[in-house]
Amino acid sequence: MWFVTGHQTSGRGRRGRAWEGPPGNLAASLFLTTDASVDQAVTLGFVAGLSLHDALSTLDLGNADIRLKWPNDVLANGGKLTGILLESESTGEGRTAIVVGIGVNIVSAPEGATFKAACLAGLGASVTAEQVFSALSDAWCARYAQWDAGRRTPGGIEAIRTAWIERAAGIGGPVAIVSGAREIRGTFETLDTDGRLVVLTADGSRVAISAGDVYFGDAASAPAAG
């Protein structure tokens, strides 16, 4: 079941951060239940990112470069266009209830943010929240079916992982991940089979990261842990 609005008055993102949803932007939350394991269920964030990427590719966005940023963002020309948040809870019956929240900047982007933000109107695209949601809901059906079939086979969700990597921002370039007091720097090499970001560090070791704030390119030299 989808819950959708073009004006969210009180939203939040990762770690309880505020998410603005002014009139004209899209705020959509999908509620579903699954018998997938917890490790499988968390990969639905990649399904959501791919679904939105698929949806945007069907709309006229000019020459906008749409990329997926680990773990759950979608970028347009390097600016954050979308935030995705998953929350889950066991039903106690061998199933997990999941809410996939998706916020898309259609007509405006937040000002004064610590990160570069983007909106579709700023890219010159004349699309509405209704059009984006219509394309998104169709794309979700296809990608979710692909994910659901994959998780039941020996190959798992490899098709989803491969598709995500093909659309990823920053692969092969410098990356810094900050999680609390921990900071890892190196080269963004790939995603592992569990969807963790794999960093090749300067000493040649590989570190798999499951959560954190990610900085690419020039920004990878800017953050400091703390």
135 and 25 in one domain?
yes
Query: Is 101 within a domain?
Result: yes
pLDDT-based confidence at 7, cuts 50/70/90? confident
Query: Is 138 within a domain?
Result: yes
Examine the fold and report which residue of 147, 166, 185 is the final residue of a domain before the chain moves on: 166
The Cα–Cα gap between 29 and 9 comes to 14
What sections of 62-154 are H helices per DSSP? Answer: 129-150
Please state, for a pLDDT cut of 70, what percent of the chain lies above it: 90
222, pLDDT greater than 70: no
- In the block, tokens 């998780």 appear at 151
158 and 71 in one domain?
yes
123 and 22 in one domain?
yes
Please state, for a pLDDT cut of 90, what percent of the chain lies above it: 65
Q: Which residues contact 145 (CB under 8 A, 6 or more apart)?
A: none
Report the number of distinct structural domains present in the chain. Answer: 2
Between 14-28, 61-75, 92-106, 117-131, the lowest mean confidence (pLDDT) is in 14-28
Query: pLDDT tens digits for 132-161?
Result: 999 999 999 999 999 999 888 877 789 999
108 and 29 in one domain?
yes
117 and 56 in one domain?
yes
Query: pLDDT tens digits for 17-26?
Result: 666 667 899 9
Q: Which pairs count as long-range contacts for 140-148, CB under 8 Å and 24+ apart, including other chains?
A: 140/30, 140/47, 140/48, 140/51, 142/51, 142/54, 143/47, 143/50, 143/51, 143/54, 144/44, 144/47, 144/51, 147/43, 147/44, 147/47, 148/34
Query: pLDDT tens digits for 162-218?
Result: 999 999 999 999 999 998 888 999 999 999 988 999 999 999 999 999 988 899 876
| CATH number of the domain that residue 134 is part of | 3.30.930.10
The domain of 158 spans 2-166
